[in-house]
Amino acid sequence: MTDYNLIFGAVLLFNIAVTFRASSYYKKYFPSPNDSTKNTSSEETSSVAQSEELAPLSGDSFRDNDKEKGDVDLEHGSDPPADSTAVNAASDNAANIRHAQLLRKYLIVYLLAALSDWLQGPYVYALYDAYGYSQHDIAVLFVAGFGSSMVFGSFIGGMADQCGRRKFIILFAIIYALSCMTKHFKSFSILMNGRLLGGVATSLLFSVFEAWLIGAHASAGLMSHIGKAFSTAQYGNSIIAIVAGQIANKAANHVEFKPFSEGSGFYTGGYLGPFDVSLLALILCGLLAIALWD
């Protein structure tokens, strides 16, 4: 039998290597000889320019130059301008540091939210089927979830902008956690409520997180870095999807699927494993949003 874990691992390592090679981090940690030559030439040119500026002038030339300098200082009442290149470099470096800190805070929370979503996806249908529901009943449950996302997604983003994005991200974690908890019950009405809650949570996942990221960049004056932030988040999301698939597969086969007690409508184990892991990820996501986000 084909070892898909080995294939996924090899593809993931190849993807990481190609992405790293194409990023600016590769040039930072593995500079090419041409870059070193350019830096050396720039330093030599700068040294020559400084030497020429500091070279003493003799006779009338020195006095004329000094007089002109004094006239300019008196006329404008200010010192000569500082080296703008050095100032810009320092400013860019400070902006990069602030952006790295902001991006770390965002990714820790966002990737946990994405993990919770990826863990559930492959096992929703399998769980309903294990409960013994017909394809028609399962279709009704799925349509209810998609319909809920469609309805709430049209206005929930605007509500988050008015009431606070961090509050709605915490609300996302609570709602999605409740949706996971309903999966333990065989009751169709409880599962229906869980699908409705899941639709609301999905709308929040694909709107509020990005809104917070844009708002945080705007407040910090880092809008020029927003493209890099989104590309990093999406790349991390793709890796999380692969990792979630592996974790969910292990969780689904770890314990036997059975009722909590004989004749009980509350079930544990089996396909409920991924939802339990997702519940833990959501709790951690909400707590970190409270601790790290503004």
Query: Could you report the per-residue pLDDT of 92-134, keeping only the tens digit for each?
Result: 888 899 999 999 999 999 999 999 999 999 999 999 999 999 9
Contacts 24+ apart (CB under 8 A), 12-15: 12/239, 12/242, 15/238
Answer yes or no: are the C-beta atoms of 132 and 180 closer than 8 Å: no
> What per-residue confidence (pLDDT) applies to 219?
92
Report the C-alpha dihedral over residues 101, 106, 108, 114, rounded to 10 degrees: -160
Half-sphere exposure for 169 (CA within 13 Å, toward CB): 30
Q: In terms of Cα–Cα distance, which of 233, 238, 241, 181 is closest to 212?
A: 233
Asked if the model's pLDDT at residue 245 lies above 60, the reply is yes
Instruction: Decide the pairing of beta strands 258-259 and 267-268.
Output: antiparallel
> What per-residue confidence (pLDDT) applies to 217?
94
User: Average model confidence (pLDDT) for the chain?
Assistant: 83
Half-sphere exposure for 163 (CA within 13 Å, toward CB): 12
Q: What is the 3-state secondary structure (H, E, C) of 48-107?
A: HHHHHHHCCCCHHHHHHHHHHHHHHHHHHCCCCCCCHHHHHHHHHHHHHHHHHHHHHHHH
Q: Residue 35, Cβ neighbours under 10 Å: how many?
A: 11
Asked if the model's pLDDT at residue 76 lies above 60, the reply is no
Half-sphere exposure for 32 (CA within 13 Å, toward CB): 7
Answer yes or no: are the C-beta atoms of 152 and 200 closer than 8 Å: yes
Q: What amino acid occupies position 169?
A: I
> What per-residue confidence (pLDDT) applies to 130?
95
Tens of pLDDT, residues 188-221: 999 999 999 999 999 999 999 999 999 999 999 9
Mean pLDDT, rounded, for 226-249: 95
Tens of pLDDT, residues 187-197: 999 999 999 99
pTM over 0.85: no
Q: Which residues contact 209 (CB under 8 A, 6 or more apart)?
A: 106, 109, 110, 113, 169
Answer yes or no: are the C-beta atoms of 274 and 252 closer than 8 Å: yes
Tens of pLDDT, residues 9-66: 777 677 677 777 776 677 777 887 665 555 555 455 444 444 444 444 444 544 454 4
> What per-residue confidence (pLDDT) applies to 36?
53
Asked if the model's pLDDT at residue 72 lies above 50, the reply is no
Answer yes or no: are the C-beta atoms of 282 and 180 closer than 8 Å: yes
Answer yes or no: are the C-beta atoms of 222 and 175 closer than 8 Å: no
> What per-residue confidence (pLDDT) applies to 55?
46
Mean pLDDT lowest among 241-245, 249-253, 263-267, 282-286: 263-267
